[in-house]
Amino acid sequence: MNAKEIAIYNKIKQAIIQQKLRPNMQLVETEIAESFGVSRTPIRNVLRRLSYERLVKIIANKGTFVTSSSKEEAKEVFEMRRILEGEAVKKACLLATEEQLLELEQMVEEEEKTHLDIEYYDAIQMSGEFHLKIAEMAGNSYFYQYLEDLISLTHVIISIYGKNQEEKDACLHHRHIFHAIKKRDEQLAAELALEHLIDMENNLQFSDKNQLSVSLTEIFNPK
């Protein structure tokens, strides 16, 4: 993707994460193209990329729709995050440079400072960036590539199933994880990272009312 497409990609992605584009909403190519002042071609490229990341679902000859992760898909996302972030944080303990540790600490401090002031959706975005920074420190580009997608999806999942009280402990957890990495305590860091993710998952409410139905058939004629 070139710079122009990346800009469009980031805006659409952020709109999905910030729930301006809600799950199941249709993304009509011509409408998006018009709003960005370009033709359908680059829009189609961006939507394809987003579909590969599972943030949208393209149905042939029908349209592109914002992802509405099921309970099962959400579980898959969290399981894979535990696997990858557990390993990533261990590698980060081994490889972190002093400069990276400083950057990570600054991210935690930034998070704590703005903790209550800022918009809710900015808060979870900052939280995501902390996790991504650790992925970056792990010294294997696949951690970053995979976790970038999984974390984006987590944001969508929280927007569907969250109880809007997620980040109450997140900053504290992040600080603890940071300290473990700084002490280069692999075992502790991994444990804390897993606990943190399990906490996030436990804060989801998979009740029926949070399930966004794909069609009215599901509401009126459930099997």
Partner DNA sequence: GTATACGAGATTGTATACAATTTCTTATAT
Partner DNA sequence: ATATAAGAAATTGTATACAATCTCGTATAC
CA 81 to chain CA centroid, Å, is 10
Phi (first) and psi of residue 165, to 5 degrees: -140, 20
Site for DNA, residues 35 to 64, rule: CB under 7 A: 38-42, 44-45, 58, 60-64
Structure tokens at 207: 């009740």
Binding residue (CB under 8 A) for a second copy from 28, 83, 94, 118: 83
Select the binding partner of residue 26 from a second copy, DNA, none (C-beta < 5 to 8 A, by kind). Answer: DNA
> 88, 179, 195, 92: which is closest to 142 by C-alpha?
88
Q: According to the binding rule CB under 7 A, does residue 219 interact with DNA?
A: no
Looking at the Cβ atoms of 81 and 176, the one nearer to a second copy is 81
Closest distance of CB 27 from DNA, Å = 6
Q: According to the binding rule CB under 7 A, does residue 7 interact with DNA?
A: no
Q: According to the binding rule CB under 8 A, does residue 52 interact with a second copy?
A: yes
Binding residue (CB under 8 A) for a second copy from 20, 48, 163, 183: 48
> Exposed (0-12), middle (13-18) or buried (19+): which is 16, by Cβ within 10 Å?
buried
Closest distance of CB 109 from DNA, Å = 39
Q: According to the binding rule CB under 8 A, does residue 142 interact with a second copy?
A: yes
DSSP letter string, 157-202: HHHHHB-S-GGGTHHHHHHHHHHHHHTT-HHHHHHHHHHHHHHHHH
Structure tokens at 197: 């993710």
Contacts with DNA by CB under 7 A lie at 2, 4-5, 26-30, 38-42, 44-45, 58, 60-64
